[in-house]
Chain A
Amino acid sequence: GIQVEQSPPDLILQEGANSTLRCNFSDSVNNLQWFHQNPWGQLINLFYIPSGTKQNGRLSATTVATERYSLLYISSSQTTDSGVYFCAGTSASGGSYIPTFGRGTSLIVHP
Chain B
Amino acid sequence: SQTIHQWPATLVQPVGSPLSLECTVEGTSNPNLYWYRQAAGRGLQLLFYSIGIDQISSEVPQNLSASRPQDRQFILSSKKLLLSDSGFYLCAGGTGGSGNTIYFGEGSWLTVV
Binding site for B on A (CB under 8 A): 30-31, 33, 35, 41-43, 45, 48, 84, 86, 88, 90, 97-99, 101, 103-104, 106
Interface string of B23-41 (1 = CB under 8 A from A): 0000000001010001000
Chain B min CB distance to A99 (Å): 5
The one of A35, A41, A90 in contact with B109, judged by C-beta atoms closer than 8 angstroms, is A41
Beta-carbon contact of B96 and A97 below 8 Å: yes
Binding site for A on B (CB under 8 A): 32, 34, 38, 42-44, 46, 49, 51, 59, 88, 90, 92, 94, 96, 98-104, 106-107, 109
Beta-carbon contact of A99 and B94 below 8 Å: yes
Whole-angstrom CA separation of A33 from B99 in the bound complex: 10
Residues of A within 8 A of B42 (CB): 84, 103-104, 106
Secondary structure of the B side of the interface? strand
The 7 A-B pairs at the shortest CB distance, nearest first, are namely A43-B104, A31-B100, A101-B44, A41-B107, A48-B101, A103-B43, A97-B32
Residues of B within 8 A of A41 (CB): 38, 88, 106-107, 109
Beta-carbon contact of B100 and A97 below 8 Å: yes
A-B residue pairs in contact (CB < 8 Å), sample of 9:
A31-B102, A33-B101, A41-B88, A41-B107, A42-B107, A98-B46, A99-B100, A99-B102, A104-B43
Whole-angstrom CA separation of A7 from B30 in the bound complex: 35
Residues of B within 8 A of A106 (CB): 42
Whole-angstrom CA separation of A106 from B43 in the bound complex: 11
Chain A min CB distance to B3 (Å): 12
